[in-house]
Amino acid sequence: MFLEAIHIILPVFIILAAIIAILLKDLLASVIALAAMSLLLSLEFFILHAPDVAIAEAAVGACLTTAIFILAIKATKRNEEEV
Amino acid sequence: MNKRDLLAYSFLTVFAVFTIFSMLSMHSFGVPDENAMDQYIIDNTVEETGASNGVTAVVFDYRGFDTLGEATVLFTAVAGVILVFRRLKK
Amino acid sequence: MKGMSLIVRTIANISFPFILIYGFYIIAHGHLTPGGGFQGGAVVASGLVLMLIAYNAEWISQRIKESHLSIFESLGALSFVLLAFLGIIFGTAFFSNFLVGTESLFGGIPLDGAANINTGGIIPLMNFAVGLKVIAGLFAIVYVMAHFISKKEGKIA
């Protein structure tokens, strides 16, 4: 029962974090929301009995891509421009 | 509604129909499809390769060519990134 | 690129050895526990990127040169392909596991279905090769980008 509830609640939070990452205008906050989505996704992989994929997702998705995005924001502008 | 919108909506409808029918024919949650290869790997991994982690045994022993391709992809990606960023260094 | 505050540097100094130990554990026990060369290499590269973010790009470039990274990556790829070709000479085919059951290094025979650290044949050696390749490759991407940004900032200022 508890596991079924987790299986429903975690994807809802993943989708919520992804929508927040799209909607935010501050790109640094958007990158942090993307990292949170990646961490929740790795938790979901762990619950689905795939610890290999969970380790790779946590290391690559939550750490390395966040570092690359933050370096890219540092080289350009922080805020999204209104078109 | 002009001609372009009509084309887009018709393609979207075809795509949605195919997606819904393929989702209806998926197997139920938590019960993977079984075939003979799965059971062979589960039974013989420890005797044949000496590794108790079945995933690594498949990746590095039974399906080694796949890992060779993955290593080639990573090498090419890193070489491309270094090529792009080193040119503007000076 | 200036690096971060003293608090961040202290926390990074404390947690860096533990991240490295965890990553090398995942690589070395790849044939026993979940994980393998790619996962462990990604964890070690994350630890190195933590030091790169906490300090600055020049501090890292005094310790690790970019040529060392490309040498390590090429070494990992070469030893991976070389192990695959040794399967033709000593075993039966490309990628065949010629070391298993030979009582040599990594060639122990698993007793009653329980593998240990000395079994696995060429799987642990391939894990080390892929781990070296992934550490050098993933860190080289962030390293080169950070150097590009620090050169660009120096040109503006």
* Residue C3, C-beta contacts closer than 8 angstroms, at least 6 positions apart: C9, C54, C55, C56, C59
pLDDT of residue C24: 94
Q: Which residue of A lies nearest to C57 if distances are taken between CA atoms?
A: A71
Q: Is the pLDDT of residue C19 over 70?
A: yes
Residues C82-107 have pLDDT tens digits of 988 988 888 888 888 888 777 777 77
DSSP, collapsed to helix, strand or coil, labels residue A79 as: strand
Percent of chain C's residues with pLDDT above 70 = 96
Contact predicate B46/C110, CB 8 Å: yes
Lowest mean pLDDT among B31-40, B61-70, C50-59: B31-40
Do the domain assignments include residue C46? yes
Half-sphere exposure of C16 toward its Cβ, with a 13 Å CA cutoff? Answer: 15
Chain C partners of A67 at a C-beta cutoff of 8 Å? 49, 52-53, 142
* pLDDT tier at C78, thresholds 50, 70, 90: very high
Q: Is the pLDDT of residue C113 over 70?
A: no
What is the pLDDT averaged over residues A35-56?
92
Q: Is the pLDDT of residue C3 over 90?
A: no
Percent of chain C's residues with pLDDT above 90 = 44
pLDDT of residue A11: 93
Token pair of B70, please?
Answer: 């993955």
Here the ipTM equals 0.87
Q: Is the pLDDT of residue C6 over 60?
A: yes
Subunits adjacent to chain B (3 or more Cβ pairs under 8 Å): C
What is the pLDDT averaged over residues C139-151?
89
For residue C118, which of C107, C102, C133 has the smallest C-alpha distance? C107
Structural domain range at position C127: 6-156
- Number of domain units in chain C: 1
Q: Is the pLDDT of residue C154 over 80?
A: no
User: How distant is the Cα of C81 from the closest Cα of chain B, in angstroms?
Assistant: 8
Chain A partners of C150 at a C-beta cutoff of 8 Å? none
- Number of domain units in chain B: 1
pLDDT of residue C11: 94
Query: Alpha carbon of B33 to those of A70, A75, B56, B63: distances in Å?
Result: 41, 48, 21, 20
- Tell me the count of A-C CB pairs closer than 8 A: 49
Do the domain assignments include residue A83? no
Structural domain range at position B80: 3-87
User: How distant is the Cα of C63 from the closest Cα of chain A, in angstroms?
Assistant: 20
- Number of domain units in chain A: 1
Test mutation, C31, C38, C39, C152, chain A, max A CBs within 10 A: C39
* pLDDT tier at A49, thresholds 50, 70, 90: confident
* Residue B74, C-beta contacts closer than 8 angstroms, at least 6 positions apart: C133, C134, C137
B75 vs C: CB within 8 A: yes
What is the pLDDT averaged over residues C43-66?
90
- The sign one gets for the Cα dihedral B89, C5, C8, C10 is positive
pLDDT of residue C156: 57
Give me the residue label for tokens 């075993």.
Answer: C91
For residue C116, which of A73, B44, B50 has the smallest C-alpha distance? B50
Token pair of A34, please?
Answer: 């993307």
Amino acid sitting at position C120 = G
Contacts 24+ apart (CB under 8 A), A9-12: A10/A40, A10/A43, A10/A44, A10/A47, A11/A44
For residue C119, give the nearest of B51, B61, B68 by CB distance: B51
How confident is the prediction for chain C on average, in pLDDT? Answer: 87
pLDDT of residue B46: 82
CA separation for the pair A68, A76 (Å, rounded): 13
CA separation for the pair A33, B39 (Å, rounded): 41
What is the pLDDT averaged over residues A53-67?
92
For residue C145, give the nearest of A60, A63, A68 by CB distance: A68
What is the pLDDT averaged over residues B31-47?
81
Subunits adjacent to chain C (3 or more Cβ pairs under 8 Å): A, B
Token pair of C50, please?
Answer: 């933590």
Q: Is the pLDDT of residue A33 over 90?
A: yes
Residues B41-90 have pLDDT tens digits of 888 888 888 888 888 888 888 888 899 999 999 999 999 998 888 765 45
Q: Is the pLDDT of residue A32 over 60?
A: yes
Structural domain range at position A29: 2-75
Are B75 and C122 in contact (CB < 8 Å)? no
Q: Is the pLDDT of residue C53 over 80?
A: yes
For residue B51, give the nearest of C95, C101, C120 by CB distance: C120
Do the domain assignments include residue A37? yes
B80 vs C: CB within 8 A: no
Mark which residues 21-60 of C lie under 8 Å from A by CB. Answer: 26, 34-36, 38-39, 42-43, 45-46, 49-50, 52-53
Q: Is the pLDDT of residue C1 over 80?
A: no
CA separation for the pair C133, C78 (Å, rounded): 10
Token pair of C68, please?
Answer: 């060392």
Number of Cβ within 10 Å of residue A53's Cβ equals: 18
Q: Which residue of A lies nearest to C153 if distances are taken between CA atoms?
A: A75
pLDDT of residue B74: 92
Do the domain assignments include residue A56? yes
